[in-house]
Amino acid sequence: MKGLVQLMAADDALQALAGGMGPRRNDALITGVTGAARQLTMAALYALRNARGPESMIVVTHTASQAQTVWEDLKEYLPDARVYLFPERENALVDYIAASSDVMSDRLHVMEALVAEGPVVVVTTLLAAWQPITKRSQFMQTLVRLEVGLNQPLDDVVAQLVKGGYERVDLVESRGQFSVRGGILDVFPMAATQPYRMEWFDTEIDSIRTFDPDTQRSLEKLNEVSFGPAIDLAVPPSVAAEVADRVAEHLESRLRTTTDADVRDRLQTAIGADLRKLQSGQSFPGLARYRGLLTDHVDTLFDHVTGSTFVCLDETSRLLERAQALEREFNEWLSGALMRGEVLSGTVEAVDYEAKIAELSKAKVHFSTFTRSQAGTRFGQVVNLTARSMQNFHGQMNVLKTEVARWQHAGMNVVFAAATKERAEHLARVLDDYRIGADEVESFTPGAKEPQIVVANLSSGFELPMQHIALIVETEVFTAKRKHRRTRSNVSDAERIKSYQELNVGDYVVHVNHGIGKYMGIKTLEVEGRHNDYLYLSYAGNDSLYVPVDQIDQIQRYIGSGEKEPKLHHLGSGEWQKVKNRVSKTVKDIAADLVKLYAQREATPGHAFSPDTPWQVDFENMFPYEETPDQLRAIADIKRDMERARPMDRLLCGDVGYGKTEVAVRAAFKAVMDGKQVAVLVPTTVLAQQHYETFKERFAGFPVTIDMLSRFRSRKDSQACIKGLKDGTVDVVIGTHRLLQKSIQFKDLGLLIVDEEQRFGVTHKERLKQLRANVDCLTLTATPIPRTLHMSMMGVRDLSVIETPPENRFPVQTYVVEYNEGLIREALERELGRGGQVYFVYNQVHNIHRMAERVQEMAPDARVTVAHGQMQEAELERVMLDFLEGEIDILVTTTIIETGLDISNVNTLIVYDADKFGLSQLYQLRGRVGRSNRIAYAYFTYQRDKVLTEVAEKRLSAIKEFTELGSGFKIAMRDLSIRGAGNLLGAEQHGFINSVGFDMYTEMLAQAVRELRGEQVEQGVEPSIDLPVEAYIPDTYISDSAQKIAMYKRFRAVQTLMEADDLEEELEDRYGDLPTEVRNLLNVTRLKSLAASAGVDQISVHGAETAIRFGNDASRPVDYSKALAMAMKHHGQPTSRPNGLFFVSFRTKGMPGEEILNKLSAFLRDYLEMVRQSKTQEEVAGV
């Protein structure tokens, strides 16, 4: 968009203003431009100033969302400039135990970028601009620069990381963490997209590489890296000690004058903890609370942007309003915090933003929509520009055609901007259809005769008559939202959930042969002179079981309903076998039903839909967001099913807001294009209303009739809808269970979409079965379903999963914080002040109305209402619909909001007593906010002063982990609840699942289905190997038991030599050189793989000999002649037994275990190679 900037920069008044700007001159004022036209003016000013010499520009806006919009536009206008967004540190004064790292990461990324010389453009907010940050000189000292071959002891780097605020952990998964394993350092810098792994040889850096935090595998080798600290506000240890002395004085003074025991206790706890950190010279996230004592030791953003700089103040009147609001919020917080004993008087100070703006010793340009004087500001230059906002054409192409002709006649440069190349191509096709000539160009060129279409993601269009520019954003042609760009790539689905089976001490487990026990950790025991690792399990009656790690696959993590703890079994009592037998019987019945259903579906003829039409392509291009890979995969699956000549029956799983509705909308459009009707069945009236509005919006501009049938429709409207379904004038109907009434008749139903099927009753499900018998059916569910269940249902009901959450424009800012009404009041005011709504989750129905009264006191002007599951259905639906339509500001509710509603205007969530919730519940709740282009906030609160149970403490630490991880499905799986799984198979199975655990239940079901379908399941040979070698993972190599178990599982899963080599590479990559015990374990694993391929079922030592026993498994036939030949070659003794077993024995007396391993491996390798060559010769001869 450089051409546009050049046109704007040619304006005489702007050139005069740019030439007359200076830090010691009066401020300048530009009026008349808004939106993307204002951002274009800023870009032109930047270009004009930099034509005279390098100069930076800082843009200050009043809100975070406005800053984001300005930043995105400036990036398009100034593609060659370094354009950054410096976000505000939210809740900087609140003492939280965990918070999202996204904002800190973005701030540090900018601070690191500002170290480099040269002009920059930084967009920020009023709050962020004057928040204290580390002094620039000190920040530069904390930057770490490392390169291969550098002689710098690992301990020195670790000390620097600790000083920079990094957290030491066992496994690096999130930004701001590091771990040390021997001579290997893993670190995930705050501003990096991937973590780094560095390996030392003595004091020299031997290698540097990036690695994937999900797989923990190295990716790319690097020669050097540089990164900054993990916190944006730090002071030198000497300053910290000085501040500590002053804090101690203030604290002592306050304690002398305070008689309230609770306040004294809080002062000593909260301030005391900070004091200890300061005394040890440590900086920490809450350091901003002592800003009043740090004045001379901190900087602001303006100090970090060096060299000549000018400042653009975006809508000065709004900035001053925001300054007053910030001052008011701060004073309210301070009075409450002082009263509660959370801060000390004199240590924290308010910021006088108006004075700060006036004091800025940089050239300032004020932007205002209208010409107005401002108290205390004299403007040296005033430029009045004329701009008009672009109208929204709503798809009325004839109106657009008339306007384009008018602009061309007036000699305007007409530019269409589309967010992506695909959308630009789509726009070009549509314009061509209406004979509006337009050229697709790489970049805009002033003076062209025809309109030009460029790829640019701008926020809005505009007319600038004096500059001869008319810019139309593609979304103003078709009425859609601005396309959001994703900023981070998504990990694969499989990697996202691989760790949900991680075992932690105290977890319940299921042993295949011994039942439910408790995992108590890994023990290294010495048995017959050899060390090995064992999983220590505790059972009922103080029974203990030590399970060798090579039998780890016999243990599963117990997953039940979460309602109560499972009953432990007694070892050797036979009760476990009885439970398994009982469950096995019911599983066979379910399997029979599933197999019958599958057979019926395969035999039923259905409608084969036509391939996609050009209209389908246009319709899909209208989607205003980028699809996630999962969405695209699901759409492809569904279309493939629809084009087959049998009825589709597909289940689509994914959390609310993950894009299931868009997938369903595209399937519906495809059906309508083939002349078929679509019925969308939803469980509640509120969801019907929501889907109806979504479908109406998406189908706008296409000749498709959409109607709704629900309790909230008048009798007249309902009758018209029913008539339309019968005569075919209604193409798509959205409705509740009313759609299932037998009086409802369709002219030609082709697709049935069912949302949340498990929420319908038995009679409704029976009617559904009849409806779906010969039409395509797509079922949507928000319940996360584990892959084990997917496997058991494969071929019975096709399944697509959307596990990748769409990247929001802003991540949800999550805080785990002590409940205090000052913080809650501030959160409510912030949300209501921007016209938003709030969920306040309070899960105690008996006194929920009392809590609602307290919330009303905190927000007296708000409309507060209660919602819970014990209300009458009609009343609850009315409340939820009112909330959806914006008639309610704050909904005090139980967890009934976990699934279902997707309301984009709700962007603050407050959870009371979050420590009483499960991890997946909190994840589901957090998913209710952050569905728009506003920053969303989630506050998980707890009562610090009460004595927490051990379980609650675990939950709090889990919430902390959850906040840091921030990756959806992985977390939901980690605390999996099977509410939905039981429903999918029938509620009566709930108890059976609880009695054996979810994984075992689904394994039994999958096996029963395979047996009934007559599938031969290959039972692989599982060789038993017992050799005198030390083969285990010592604590000195992997000290963390969870990582150790995960690695033992990897050993257990190895089936080929290539997989063993890959595992060896990963071990060396992650943990360094292999100790003898681990190398032995790898070689035993390789031997096991060779033995399995050769049909060997046992290798063991007997006295002076080691024997290899070949089994008589028909699937692995033994070539005795070749085994005999190889035995002779390797000096082995072959023996045949009457029972058909064949042995090869080797004399190994006095031979070290490692040598025995090598000898046996060599024998089996040669035998397998001989068999392979023989087969190849036979195949060649056969040809």
Could you say which of 3.30.750.24, 3.40.50.300, 3.40.630.30, 3.30.70.260 is the CATH number of the domain covering 813-977? Answer: 3.40.50.300
The pLDDT score that the predictor gives to residue 94 is: 62
Question: What tokens appear for 1064 in the block?
Answer: 């060896």
How many Å apart are CA 208 and CA 225, to the nearest integer?
A: 8
Q: pLDDT at position 1039, please?
A: 85
Predicted local distance difference test score (pLDDT) of residue 898: 56
Query: SS3 for 464?
Result: strand
pLDDT computed for residue 89 by the predictor: 84
Least confident of 72-86, 513-527, 560-574, 1116-1130: 560-574
pLDDT at 767 over 60: yes
Q: Return the SS3 of 55.
A: coil
10 Å CB burial of residue 397 (0-12, 13-18, 19+) is: middle
| pLDDT given for residue 481 in this prediction | 46
Measured CA to CA, the distance from residue 732 to residue 502 in angstroms comes to 45
Q: pLDDT tens digits for 920-971?
A: 677 778 878 877 767 788 898 888 655 555 555 555 555 555 544 334 444 4
> What are the two backbone dihedrals, phi and then psi, of residue 1030, each rounded to the nearest 5 degrees?
-80, 100
**Spatial distance between the Cα atoms of 485 and 457, rounded to a whole number of angstroms:** 9
- Does domain 2-131+298-384 sit in CATH 3.40.50.300? yes
Structure tokens at 259: 């008689």
Give the pLDDT band of residue 1167 (cuts 50, 70, 90): very high
The confidence score (pLDDT) of residue 680 equals: 95
Q: Is the dihedral of CA 530, 531, 535, 540 positive or negative?
A: positive
The residue ranking higher by pLDDT, 989 or 183, is 183
Instruction: Report the pLDDT value the prediction gives residue 266, as an integer from 0 to 100.
Output: 81
The more confidently predicted of residues 498 and 304 is 304
**Is the predicted pLDDT of residue 489 greater than 50, yes or no?**
no
pLDDT confidence bin for 1078, thresholds 50/70/90: very high
Average pLDDT over residues 351-358: 89
- Higher-confidence residue of 169 and 1018: namely 169
CA dihedral in degrees (1022, 1028, 1032, 1036; nearest 10)? -170
Q: What pLDDT, on the 0 to 100 scale, is given for residue 681? A: 92
Q: Is the pLDDT of residue 787 over 50?
A: no
Tell me what the pLDDT averaged over the chain comes to.
83
- C-beta neighbour count of 406 within 10 angstroms: 12
Q: What is the pLDDT of residue 764?
A: 73
Rounded distance between C-alpha atoms, residue 696 and residue 1046, angstroms: 49
Cβ atoms 648, 772 nearer than 8 A? no
Q: What is the C-alpha to C-alpha distance for residues 952 and 973, in angstroms, rounded to an integer?
A: 19
Q: Give burial (CB, 10 Å; 0-12/13-18/19+) of 169.
A: middle
* CATH superfamily ID and name for 604-802: P-loop containing nucleotide triphosphate hydrolases (3.40.50.300)
Specify the pLDDT at position 935: 76
| Four-residue CA torsion sign, 821, 825, 827, 832 | positive
Residue 363 has pLDDT above 80, yes or no: yes
pLDDT of 341 over the 60 cut: yes
Token pair, residue 827, equals 């959160």
**Residue 834 pLDDT:** 81
Classify residue 318 by its DSSP letter. Answer: H
Pairing of strands 309-314, 649-654: unpaired
Percent of the chain with pLDDT over 90: 34
* 701, amino acid identity: G
Residue 435 pLDDT > 50:
yes
Q: Is 1107 exposed, middle or buried (0-12, 13-18, 19+ CB in 10 A)?
A: middle
Interval 2-30 mean pLDDT: 88
Reported as a pLDDT band with limits 50, 70 and 90, residue 818 is confident
Each residue of 67-104: pLDDT tens digit? 999 999 999 999 999 999 999 887 656 655 556 677 88
Task: Answer with the residue of higher pLDDT: 567 or 95.
Answer: 567
**One CATH from 3.40.50.300, 3.30.750.24, 1.20.1250.20, 2.40.10.170 for 493-594+990-1012:** 2.40.10.170
Question: Can you give the pLDDT at residue 109?
Answer: 92
* Structural fold of domain 1024-1182: Aspartate Aminotransferase, domain 1 (3.90.1150)
Q: Which CATH architecture has domain 391-478?
A: 3-Layer(aba) Sandwich (3.40)
Lowest mean pLDDT among 39-53, 225-239, 532-546, 775-789: 775-789
Digit-coded pLDDT (tens) for 1088-1131 = 999 998 888 889 888 889 999 988 776 678 888 888 989 889 98
- The highest-level CATH class for domain 144-227 is alpha beta
Tell me: the pLDDT tens digits for 667-703?
A: 999 999 999 999 999 988 888 888 998 899 899 878 8
What phi, psi does 989 have (nearest 5°)?
-80, -10
pLDDT at position 925 is: 81
223 Cβ contact partners less than 8 Å away, ≥ 6 residues apart: 147, 148, 208
Tell whether pTM > 0.85.
Answer: no
Q: Give the mean model confidence (pLDDT) for residues 649-678.
A: 89
Q: Give the residue, 591 or 450, on which the prediction is more confident.
A: 450
Structure-token pair, residue 213 = 């935090």
Spell out the residues 6+ positions from residue 229 whose beta carbon is closer than 8 angstroms to its own: 108, 134, 139, 142, 163, 164, 165, 166, 190
Across residues 1130-1134, what is the average pLDDT? 89
